Homo-oligomer: A and B are copies of this chain.
Amino acid sequence: MYLVELIGTAVFAATGVLAVSRRGLDVMGAVMLGLVTAVGGGTVRDLLIRYPIFWFDNFDYVWAAVAGALIAFFLNAVVANAVRTLLYLDALGAALFAIAAANKVLLDPALSAPVAVILGVLTGIGGGLLRDVLAGRPTLLTSREIYATPIFLGCIVFVLLREFAADFAYAGFAAGSVIFGVRALALWFHLEMPHWLVEPG
């Protein structure tokens, strides 16, 4: 499980670097943007719930993110060919991190179930938002890409199942399937939000 988290972190960093590539990015910028993408969401979550920042105690997350960023930077041509594969891995990583975050919040008796949903979503998308803001790109909040919605649905499934006493493995698997499944369908069929849920103009 821990190894999976580290791989997820590296994949997050790599997709983060690929997303902003071809803009005269240098290696220092690439590593910093990869780091922000990979650990930014969890850092904001820990700030909000006043926990010690998760990578302060375990620097492996930072090494994994730096490795992922460097690989994406130097093996750009190779990695860019695998970008479709990476997007599916990224969806898996987002599922993993969102569920871990929702679980962390639920385990804290001072925090309520709706807070777990919001912080799950924030952890899943926060790193990407920070990266886009720092790289001067439009964020997913103004795009029609289906990215936050599956995370939102999955976190609701997770929280509901846990409220009704499902054990972690079961609730996590169900929620992860929702997040990865909906996102993978959207990627595969190039789905966008239906028109009636999009501002005209």
Show the binding face of A for B, using Cβ within 8 Å. 20-30, 32-33, 43, 47-48, 50, 52-53, 56, 59, 62, 73, 76, 110-112, 114-115, 118, 129, 133-136, 138-144, 148-149, 152, 193, 197-201
Chain B nearest CB from A63 CB (Å) reads: 9
Partner of A47 from the list B48, B52, B134, B149 (CB cut-off 8 Å) is B48
Q: List 18 A-B contacts (CB under 8 A).
A: A21-B199, A22-B201, A24-B142, A26-B144, A26-B197, A26-B198, A26-B199, A28-B148, A28-B149, A28-B193, A29-B141, A50-B52, A133-B134, A134-B139, A134-B142, A135-B141, A136-B138, A136-B139
The CA of A111 and the CA of B56, in the complex, are separated in Å by 7
Chain B residues with Cβ under 8 A from A200's Cβ? 22
Chain B residues with Cβ under 8 A from A201's Cβ? 21-24
The CA of A197 and the CA of B24, in the complex, are separated in Å by 10
Evaluate whether A141 and B134 lie within 8 angstroms (CB atoms) in the complex, with A28-B193, A111-B56, A114-B62 already known.
Answer: yes
- Is there contact, CB below 8 Å, between A27 and B135? no
Chain B residues with Cβ under 8 A from A148's Cβ? 28-29, 32
Evaluate whether A59 and B112 lie within 8 angstroms (CB atoms) in the complex, with A26-B197, A52-B50 already known.
Answer: yes
- Those 8 A-B pairs whose CB atoms lie nearest each other, nearest first: A22-B201, A26-B193, A29-B141, A27-B197, A25-B199, A26-B198, A136-B138, A28-B149
The residue on B at minimum CB distance from A32 is: B141
The CA of A73 and the CA of B24, in the complex, are separated in Å by 32
Chain B residues with Cβ under 8 A from A118's Cβ? 62
Chain B residues with Cβ under 8 A from A138's Cβ? 136
Chain B nearest CB from A158 CB (Å) reads: 18
Chain B residues with Cβ under 8 A from A136's Cβ? 138-139, 142
The CA of A50 and the CA of B43, in the complex, are separated in Å by 12
